[in-house]
Amino acid sequence: MKKERRKISKKEVIITIFIVILGLTIAALLWIFVFDNNSPEQQKSEEPQVIEEPEKKLTVVDEDSNARPIAVMIDNNIGNGRHAGLQESYINYEIIVEGGLTRIMALFKDKDVSLIGPVRSSRHYFLDYALESDAIYAHYGWSTYAQSDINYLGVNNINGLYDEDPFWRDNTIAAPHNVFTSTDRLYADATNKNYNTTTENWKLLNYTPEEVNLNEPSSTTTQINPETGVEEEIPVTRDGLLTANSITIPYSYYQTRNYTYDSERKVYLRYMNNTPHLDKTTGEQLYYKNIIIEQVRNYQLDSAGRQDLDTTGSGEGYYITNGYALPIYWTKSGRSAKTIYTYIDGSEADINDGNTFIQIVPTSSSPTIN
């Protein structure tokens, strides 16, 4: 008996077509998911995103600012606790003057400092260190040598003997140790004199925002290990490395500067004649990230004991930061040329981001570093 073929209903045909279409759709989606995700574009998008760290910038000055520095002559024959502005200045120079005393020149840039002083008269060799930063030079009076050189060299200067507006006297303090100024007043006076208040030539020290630790190896060398016979890399520290927790810098038989290292803050606390050097406004002991000792030959010019210095040429010194000191050489090719500080191997010294005290001392001085 012949078996009858079952007649497929219209409904079943529709269901079959639907199932086939659904299967093809699913297959197409799987194809896209598997193969398209493996495309170079998709693989690229799945690579981990590299987040670039922002470029490190200096904090001691604004690298993007071309504000012209101002160098101010500071009286240093006043005892401790009477200086204003020496914590806000980014570079300070201390140099010997007549009678075995010293005077300070403070450089200001990118900070509004409302009290600076006491301001004192110029000595001609300080000009050489103002010029190397293309600074406007502020002082109250001058020696005849300084007056001659300021005129001869065409130094942009602000002299309190003739320019009264930028300066004022504190009548609670005996003259001549009572003259003060501010960055606002000095820049305003410089503008009135048509001095340039911007410059592209202000950079002096080879600052780096990366931390400089002088005890870290500067390079490596290779040598054969006698026990294993295998060649190994050996770290090499720079020649002459010293621990620098305390520093003594004599200028004369009765003028000495001292620093002690504060390892927690990584700064050097400053002393004058073994007494803490305090800020007039805050009462806080002055502190500095970097100390540069620069030995320069000095000699007497006249019966008043006024000095001259061999500021150009070359000499020796030390760079001190973060608890260590390294011998350095300094070179200066001309009065307005920049002083270059190099290590013994000839590479330029990297200077830590922070304020710096440059102690320019007689070659006869024997600093002690422990």
Residue 238's pLDDT is 87
CA dihedral (302, 305, 306, 310) positive or negative: positive
Per-residue confidence band for 161, with pLDDT thresholds at 50, 70 and 90: very high
CATH of 70-204, one of 1.10.10.10, 3.30.110.30, 3.50.90.10, 3.40.640.10: 3.50.90.10
Residue partners of 108: CB distance under 8 A and separation at least 6: 69, 70, 72, 85, 88, 89, 90, 116, 183
Q: Where are the domains of the chain?
A: 70-204, 242-369
Task: Check if CATH label 3.50.90.10 holds for domain 242-369.
Answer: yes
Structure-token match 């904090």, residue found: 59
Q: What is the pTM of this model?
A: 0.84
Q: For 66-112, what is each residue's pLDDT tens digit?
A: 999 999 999 998 988 999 999 999 999 999 999 999 999 999 999 99
> If we measure between CA atoms, which residue out of 68, 235, 271 comes closest to residue 156?
68
Q: For 307-355, what is each residue's pLDDT tens digit?
A: 999 999 999 999 999 999 999 999 999 999 999 999 999 999 999 999 9
Residues present in the chain in total: 370
| Low-confidence winner among 26-40, 49-63, 244-258, 312-326 (lowest mean pLDDT) | 26-40
**d(C-alpha 103, C-alpha 105), whole Å:** 7
Tell me, yes or no, if the two domains 70-204 and 242-369 fold the same way. yes
What percentage of residues in the chain have a pLDDT greater than 90?
78
Residue 186's pLDDT is 98
Residues 356 and 288: beta-carbon distance below 8 Å: yes
Q: Are strands 231-236 and 368-369 parallel, antiparallel or unpaired?
A: unpaired
Residue 91's pLDDT is 98
Per-residue confidence band for 226, with pLDDT thresholds at 50, 70 and 90: confident
Assess whether pLDDT exceeds 60 at residue 113. Answer: yes
Output 219 or 130, whichever has higher pLDDT.
130
**d(C-alpha 166, C-alpha 185), whole Å:** 5
Token pair for 195:
């001095």
